[in-house]
A and B are shown apart, each in its own frame.
Chain A
Amino acid sequence: MKTSILTIASSLLLALGLSAASADTLADVKSKGTLTIGVKNDYPPYGFLNDKGEIVGFEVDLGKYVAKELLGPDGKVELVPVVAANRIEFLNSGRIDIILATLGVTAERGKVIDFSEYYVSAPGPSILAPKAATFAKWEDLKGQTLCGIQGSYFNKHLTEAFGINLTNFKTQPEAYRALKDNRCVGFAFDDMTLRKKTEEADWADYKIAIDPYEYIPQAAGIRKDDVAFRDAVNKAILKAEAEGKLIEWETTYGMPHAKYIAERAEAAKAKLKP
């Protein structure tokens, strides 16, 4: 946790130093005519490179939409690829105006930045298992052997909280192979990845046997106490939700349609009704 403490400390210092200078990002962005967005470029479907080498994705489209709302139809967007380790520093040092990069909402991050509306609820791990599998709850897996991937962040929790006996492989192909060999009764991994697997012909006899036990809300990262900018971003996100844009982008990027996004779309519609 040394790096994150360093990150927090340095970004706190930067935030203090910069707060007077650029507390009004909205005005800055409007005068520049460009919104500089920190996005992922290696994380489909949220932000990734397409065949032409352009950064595209769910959060990239959201960023472009927000820019148009803030700056009008001529508003420009600058996409800056970020990774988990540097995105908060980039924001607080002024390198980017907003983070739209699979940013999970946590209390620790809430100390150094503000979050926008929570536009996505990212699923944690689920279980891929043969269609004949009889388990349906995480509690049913106590003492069972499940395949996993070495180093996944939820491995410790699965062992500790549910008493699952994990057999962890180095790579996904090995784990899929072991599941087919019945070395384990199911494969515990990132829900979105497993759901895509069930669509493949080879995996027609398999299902998502158990849904994720947790969802982590995902939001845009905004500099602390940048109230006018945050309000404007939130308004743009709500408008996108009310227009059903997020559901559209789910379709564009082959994501399963999440209940969370559908519900938020309904709520936004109700809210924006005159």
Chain B
Amino acid sequence: MFNLDYSWLADPVYQGWLIRGTLTTIELAFASSAIAFVIGLFGALALTLRIAWLDAVIELFVEVFRNTPPLLQMLFFYFTLSTVGLRMTDPATGVSVPLLSAFACALISLSLFGGALCIEAFRSGLDSLPRAVTEAARSLGYSRWQRFRRIEAPIASRICLPALTNIMTNQFKTTSQASVITVPELMYYAGQIYNDTFRTAEVMILVLFIYVSLVSLLSWGMVRIERMLAFPGYGKGA
């Protein structure tokens, strides 16, 4: 019934494209997730300090980057920032070129988008800490930083691990939008291949399979981490 033709996969050019595209996708997803994680951690920590102006800044950041489509952010960084003067002079040719490459724009946009979601995830983790725990730590003489490092962060990060897994898988899939600003990731090359070969269904099925494999691997790894970090009374540590 399905008359699938994968003969184009024998072409070394297409093989190279698919491999390079997959690697770029992985690179972008992991780098942006790592930065998002750090942004989330420090943002949530800053929120616990209860400094009014800092809270306002963080809230604004979260609202702006969580509530705008990553695609729009990428286009903004890619086309607008270079127009308003974020440029440098290429030392080799002396021509004024945009400072941020396509990959950098995609990385920044995905990191900020993911970071905004991570702040919320960590905050929910911190909020769900039993008050008794922080009060016990305080009565034992822990300083603010010690309390965060030794009590709050370890418990909160375990609580919000499932939410982080969600954010990371989302991050992985959102990388596909970077093809619009010419980041040569998986979807970028897939489009060129089916335009050349007219084997749209075959290319789509293969790309689907690659995404499913990568994201499954990621969530499997996250579940392992969840198990490893589990301790009695919370989540998977029954």
Contact = CB atoms under 8 A, between A and B. Distances in A.
B70 to A, nearest CB: 16
B188 A182 contact: no
Interface string A167-194: 1111000100110011100000000000
Interface in B188-229: 188, 191-192, 195-198
Given A2-B3, A159-B13, A151 B192 contact: yes
B238 interface: no
A3 B198 contact: yes
Contacts of A1: 5, 197-198
B1 interface: no
| Main secondary structure on A side of the interface with B | mixed
Given A150-B192, A160-B13, A181-B82, A167 B98 contact: no
B146 interface: no
Chain A interface residue number, banded: 20 to 34
A168 B198 contact: no
B76 interface: no
Given A159-B13, A169-B182, A153 B3 contact: no
Contacts of A152: 195
A168 B183 CA distance: 9
Contacts of A167: 102, 182
A181 B98 contact: yes
B234 interface: no
12 contacts: A151-B195, A155-B196, A156-B192, A167-B102, A169-B182, A170-B179, A174-B79, A177-B79, A181-B97, A182-B95, A182-B96, A183-B102
The 10 closest A-B pairs by CB, nearest first: A151-B195, A167-B182, A182-B97, A181-B82, A150-B191, A182-B95, A181-B98, A156-B196, A160-B13, A155-B192
